[in-house]
Structure 1
Amino acid sequence: MANVNSVRDLQVLLVEPSTSQAHLVRRMLENCGVATVKLVASGAEALAALAEEVPGRVPGRVLMSSLYLPDMAGTDLVEQLRLDARHAALPFILISSETRPQRLEGVRQSGACLIVRKPFTADDLARALNAAVDYLNPPAELEVEEIEALRVLVVDDSFASRQHLQRLLHSLGIEQVTLCNNGKEAVAILSESMVDLVITDYNMPEMDGAALTAYIRQQSWQSDVPILLVTSEQNQGRLAAVERAGVSAICDKPFDAASIRRLISDALH
């Protein structure tokens, strides 16, 4: 695949049911330097267009979508993409005026590049496009001695989020990655296996990230292991409680690869 070095190398598939809004966003994308913009009006059209493409033959492909489509929500669209191995790593940007966290949770958990809130400016759009470029260009391997020996435990109830984090860790040179669905499963793994880093979500069934952090710091024989919280949680009081419990760092979803690389590097040094 050709290198994607800048916004000019991106090819955007824009999913927007409003003709006037679609043409407005296309003009803004072109003004940002995007040379190729294809317009479709529904989730089904977007999936069909992607199905016609040979994987890897469209360098810089980015999917940009509104939240409310005539046949599905943007959250449904990205979740379907993440279940298809051909598009599991496709950069996804959501454009929406929606602010309710429950409506955006699926997008946050899916490994989206960014959520662009309406009304937005050219600068907002440019930031999202640059995030897509970064997404398509994973950061260099971590400068950690014997990185291939690092053992990382990823705890997240979202399949898409687990897969996204695993791909990112592999791109950083970390191959020993164990995945589990919630804190309760993580406790069982930690009781039997030594790890060098725990990356956990906050909101999970059975045992959430706060309870897992408290358990590790107070009861686990691996009480000093670095813990990175990667979460869509917006309640600052809850996040403050997790910080007090002993997480090493907190990163919001959606996140960019460079931020995760920096946080992991800081936690391991």
Structure 2
Amino acid sequence: MALTTSLADLSVLLVEPSHMQATVVGRMLENQGVRKTQVAETAAQALALLGSGEWDVVISSLYLPDMAGTELVAAMREDAGLETIPFILISSETRPQVLEPVRQSGACSIVAKPFTEQQLSRALYAAADYLSPPGDVDVSEIENLRVLVVDDSLASRRHLRRLLEELGIERITEAVNGKEAVAALQDTMVDLVITDYNMPEMDGRELTEYIRTQSWQAGVPVLMVTSEQNMGRLAAVERAGVSAICDKPFEAGSIRRLISDALLR
């Protein structure tokens, strides 16, 4: 679909058991110009609707009668027909261990309660941007790039791969942690490394330090995409020599710009 300022082309499935909350969000969507919205009260209803209709975006509450919103997005990412649908979580939950599955799933946005119409609008535009093919990228300049994606989350790797492929990048190598990435870097030339922070065996900071001090590809740009919130740890990553840091969940437009900036350095 093409990005429109009115968001009129978006079809939104709202998963919300509370009639009052569904009414409030529905009114906000109408005010933003969204013409097609349907409400599902449970995750099972949502999955049934997703399997039988064309939906561009899913907006879901965290707590549902039959499963959590984190489980709903996980089920969507396991279904080849649903894995590319942008997912927006609405929740008052702040505990990292609860939100982490959503961050790792490739969700577009997490909208914290209480929220304004402007905050919901930004999440919708992020979803629309993800659905829109990039119009300002010179594919001829980057289609031969070799990218190493390092993340222990399969869902995150799939999400990043989709974004890279949309940019025309097809030469993508995947690694599940820093240790596996080090092995790949020993005999595979890459133009860009995109890595998570928290991983087993060797984390993103250790991988960045290895690249900068021991790898024969010491100058390769390293983009870190992470849900890490500890400022001390992030400062250590910057000192290790990372080229840029992007928060999870991330907007498609942001990751495209960061990739372009990192490659131009």
> Could you say whether these structures have the same fold, taking a TM-score greater than 0.5 normalized by the shorter chain as the test?
yes
Distance 2:38 2:3 in 1: 18
Question: Is it true that 1:84 corresponds to 2:83 in the alignment?
Answer: no
Partner of 1:241: 236
Cα distance, 1:78 vs. partner? 0.5
Distance 1:13 1:139 in 2: 24
Partner of 1:52: 52
Equivalent positions of 1:32-181 (< 5 A) are 32-53=32-53, 58=54, 61-140=56-135, 142-143=137-138, 146-181=141-176
Which secondary structure does the structure 1 equivalent of 2:143 belong to?
helix
Q: Which amino acid aligns with 1:21?
A: Q
**Alignment check: 8 A CA contact 1:4 1:10 kept:** no
Question: Could you list the per-position Cα deviations for residues 66-121 of structure 1 after superposition, in whole angstroms to 9, with x for gaps in the alignment?
Answer: 01111111111101101111111101100000111111111111111111110011
Assess, with a 3 A threshold, how the Cα gap between structure 1 residues 141 and 150 changes in structure 2: closer, same or farther: farther
Range moving further from structure 2, 90-99 or 136-145? 136-145
Q: Which amino acid aligns with 1:267?
A: A
Structure 1, unpaired ranges of 5+: none
Distance 1:144 1:82 in 2: 27
Assess, with a 3 A threshold, how the Cα gap between structure 1 residues 138 and 90 changes in structure 2: closer, same or farther: same
User: How many percent identity over aligned positions?
Assistant: 67
TM-score by length of 2: 0.95
Distance 1:188 1:203 in 2: 18
Distance 1:73 1:241 in 2: 34
Distance 1:61 1:187 in 2: 38
Distance 1:24 1:142 in 2: 37
Structure 2, unpaired ranges of 5+: none
**Alignment check: 8 A CA contact 1:140 1:172 kept:** no
Question: Could you list the per-position Cα deviations for residues 164-206 of structure 1 after superposition, in whole angstroms to 9, with x for gaps in the alignment?
Answer: 1001001111110111111011011001111110000001111
Q: Which runs of 4+ in 1 moved over 4 A?
A: none
Q: Which amino acid aligns with 1:22?
A: A
Q: Count matched residues.
A: 263
Q: Which amino acid aligns with 2:250?
A: F
The two structures, once aligned, show a CA RMSD in angstroms of 1.4
Cα distance, 1:144 vs. partner? 7.0
Cα distance, 1:207 vs. partner? 0.8
Cα distance, 1:141 vs. partner? 6.4
Cα distance, 1:5 vs. partner? 2.8
Partner of 1:15: 15
Cα distance, 1:240 vs. partner? 0.5
